[in-house]
A and B are shown apart, each in its own frame.
Chain A
Amino acid sequence: MKELICIVCPRGCHLTVDDNLNVSGNNCPRGEAYAKAELTHPTRTLTSTVKITSKLEVRCPVKTDKPLPKEKIYEAMDLINHVKISAPVKIGDIILENILGTDVNIVATKNINE
């Protein structure tokens, strides 16, 4: 038996998971999926910024387009901190592709036009 707090949405449901991975306490199906993943292969969405050459900004915010295995987060940060891009950039533009062989891309989360 394990107790978890669901982090998928701000409701933060208190979940209980038994030894056979039966989940209770979730207010929606995403909570069940989260609990199962958390106990088998936990993942997190990572957000950060990259350097940008632009008239308007010095940083462009980015995120992983899918959740990343939790243990790879610091390695991913290292990759992110070594990138420099140039404007223009649009939301969703891929900044780094298939990082660390995870099939996860780093994408821009802001439109910076010039």
Chain B
Amino acid sequence: MEQFDLVIIGGGSAGMSAAIESYNLGIKDILILEKNNYLGGILNQCIHNGFGLQEFKEELTGPEFMSRFSKKVNELGIKYELNTNVLGISKDKVVSYSNKDGYKEVKAKAIILTTGCYERNAGAISLGGDRPSGVYTAGQAQLYLNNYGKLVGKKVFILGSGDIGLIMARRMSLEGAKVLGVAELMPYSAGLNRNIVQCLQDFNIPLYLSHTVKEVIGPKGHLEKIVLAQVDERFNFIPGTEQEFECDTLLLSVGLVPNVDLLSKLGIHFAKSRGPVVNQYMETELEGLFASGNVLHVHDLVDYVVSEAREAAQGVYLFLNNKLPNTNEKSLVKPLKGVGYVVPNYIQKIDNDDKLIFKFRVAKPYKNINLVIKEGDKVIKKIFKLAIIPSEMEIVKIDKKLFELNGEDITVEVEEK
């Protein structure tokens, strides 16, 4: 069986960034396995701009951003295989896959899983009514329009205010479709403020907060209309608030879920982010198996994806050089009041100067609060926030020396004034 020091599963931004960083750290025996016939993952269809402000200090489109990484991968001569579907990972880190050459297995000393995320669909949100054609996830519609030039409809309603839905509201409007509105179940938007402005307000598209689609109507097999209704604080429909919209297309932008299928047989645990439980180097409970990018927790910014992938590469470097002991000496990291999830899920006691990086999201919008990070009862860091929303991930770097790391829980919580 062929052997590699590092096998990377998924050649999107996370996978490429992890590969480049690993190479630069001296790990040169790398294989990237990618399902599509191109590198770059989801960014290939994100033709809008706004990427790379952190990474390159300039505003790039998705294809421009990812081409800088694929160019580097090619320049360094890092080995990759396209049109290759990874089928499984075993506990002893044998990766099995299939491509035009048939079924194959390779043995890896270390693995980084960077398989991204998938979009929740109509089934996942138990959408009421018929199941006609004309209902797409926003990402599907984005792929059809941007990569194949196919506009999926002319009269569009969008359910969910996630960024991809907002971006598609603008994109389809520009291509001549009429976008009738965007409905959001929560009383606040799931997308970034800038997208509300430049994708909805610029095109006079109404945003219906605390509203959802009650019924999809399309008895003849194609979508004819949707019934929108308002919900109360418990998300029950408020009778009498129903409105009908005639439309040929319903886009769903109702959330992204880490694509963790390949981990299901390994007996490892999953976190509130729905990705695997990891330590500060993104190592899962299976020694030598790392995860980063959207498969670990859903990121809204690719810049954060590529920096997280570098942290995973640092972890692989330590692991391959026997500097990442798999001890039971660990301190759990727990999200408390007001915090949805935190990455990492535990900190291992390791003797080096690396900083600890905590990434988390609040569970709902807050104003004038402190974010408090504690170890046991001791406050390690307090950060004041004028306003904070779930769609913006918080990243806090803390000097490891400030922690004892003697097994007491580390907690992250919102402190209201």
Contact = CB atoms under 8 A, between A and B. Distances in A.
Contacts of A6: 194
For chain B, which range describes its interface: under 10, 10 to 19, 20 to 34, or 35 or more residues? 20 to 34
Contact of B63 (A10, A81, A109): A109
Interface string B187-198: 000001110111
B300 A44 contact: no
Interface string B170-181: 000011000000
A88 interface: no
Contact of A73 (B49, B174, B193, B197): B174
* Residue in B175, B192, B194, B202 with the greatest tally of chain A CB atoms within 10 Å: B194
A61 B146 contact: yes
Interface string B57-68: 001010110010
Contacts of B197: 4-5, 7
B53 interface: yes
A70 interface: yes
A86 to B, nearest CB: 16
Contacts of B196: 5
B24 interface: no
Nearest to A57: B147
Nearest to B66: A110
Given A7-B194, A10-B392, A47-B49, A59 B146 contact: yes
A9 to B, nearest CB: 5
A49 B63 contact: no
Contact of B47 (A11, A77, A109): A109
Contact size range, A: 20 to 34
A47 B67 contact: no
Interface in B37-78: 47-50, 53, 59, 61, 63-64, 67
A61 B64 CA distance: 10
Contacts of A91: 63-64, 67
B194 A61 contact: no
A111 interface: yes
A59 B149 contact: yes
Contacts of B301: 10
A34 B84 CA distance: 45
Contacts of A4: 197
Contacts of B59: 45
A110 B65 CA distance: 10
B47 A49 contact: yes
A14 B196 CA distance: 13
A87 B370 CA distance: 54
A61 B148 contact: no
Interface string A58-100: 1101010000001001100100010000000001000000000
Contacts of B147: 57-59
A4 B61 CA distance: 24
Contact of A49 (B64, B67, B149, B194): B149
Contact of B300 (A7, A10, A14, A110): A10
Contact of B53 (A9, A12, A44): A9
Given A10-B301, A49-B149, A61-B63, 14 more contacts: A9-B53, A45-B59, A47-B48, A49-B47, A57-B147, A58-B149, A59-B147, A59-B149, A61-B47, A73-B174, A74-B174, A77-B174, A77-B175, A81-B175
14 contacts: A8-B194, A10-B53, A10-B192, A10-B392, A11-B392, A12-B193, A12-B194, A47-B49, A49-B47, A61-B63, A70-B202, A74-B174, A109-B61, A111-B67
